[in-house]
Amino acid sequence: MAREIEMSREAKIVYFKKPGKRNTDEVLRIAKEWADELGIKTVVVASVWGYTAKKAMDVFEGMKVVVVTAHTGWYHEPGLQRFTEESRKIVESKGGKILMAPHVFGGLSYAMQDKFETAMLGVDMGNTLRILGQGMKVVCEVAMAAADAGLVRTDEEVISIGGTGMGADTAVVLKPVNVHDFFDLRIKEILCKPRL
């Protein structure tokens, strides 16, 4: 049963000593604890290869899980999708949704950066969010990608999970927005992140 959110309240926040994969299990545990506490039914999880996605399907059993992968053709390798077939089968067999879509902050901005060595809007925004960690940039990006794909609603809070390279190191509570409403996004709670 979800606890009614009080006015000003003290909550815990976990800071990891270092970013990266080693924090994945703890991130998922914290996210599940807070999903239960706040009555949140949906979790969005960034997963490049499927490592985090497979673990998430077990931890979030009974919840709606949306897995957002890296886009196909990552690092200029046309057609390459790093999310493994094995991971896909496991996620889908357990009722999870997998989204492969352009990176919200990447896309054309990365094209400009790579071809013309010029930072454009998405790169600037991504780098701004990175001052709170790579995972913080990712949690915003995947939540919006999921909203644009119609996989999450924009009027219900979700927990969004991201990381640095492989695995997860950051989890937040937010209400997703479509990309075209990015500046209306508000990060409500930060459950865990690396201490940078």
Name the site residues for another protein (rule: CB under 8 A): 5-17, 121, 124-125, 127-133, 140, 182-183, 185-190, 195-196
Nearer to another protein, 17 or 76 (CB): 17
Q: What per-residue string of b and e applies to 50-80 under the rule 16 or more CB within 10 Å gives b? A: bbbbbbbbebbeebbbbbbbbbeeeeeeeee
> What do you get for the CA distance between the two ends of the chain, in Å?
34
Least Å distance, CB 174 to another protein, is 8
Least Å distance, CB 180 to another protein, is 14
Distances (CA, A) of 143 to 42, 179, 181: 11, 9, 12
Nearer to another protein, 111 or 121 (CB): 121
Nearer to another protein, 57 or 152 (CB): 152
Least Å distance, CB 127 to another protein, is 5
Least Å distance, CB 82 to another protein, is 26
Nearer to another protein, 61 or 127 (CB): 127
Using a 10 angstrom Cβ sphere, with 0-12 exposed, 13-18 middle and 19 or more buried, the burial of residue 14 is middle
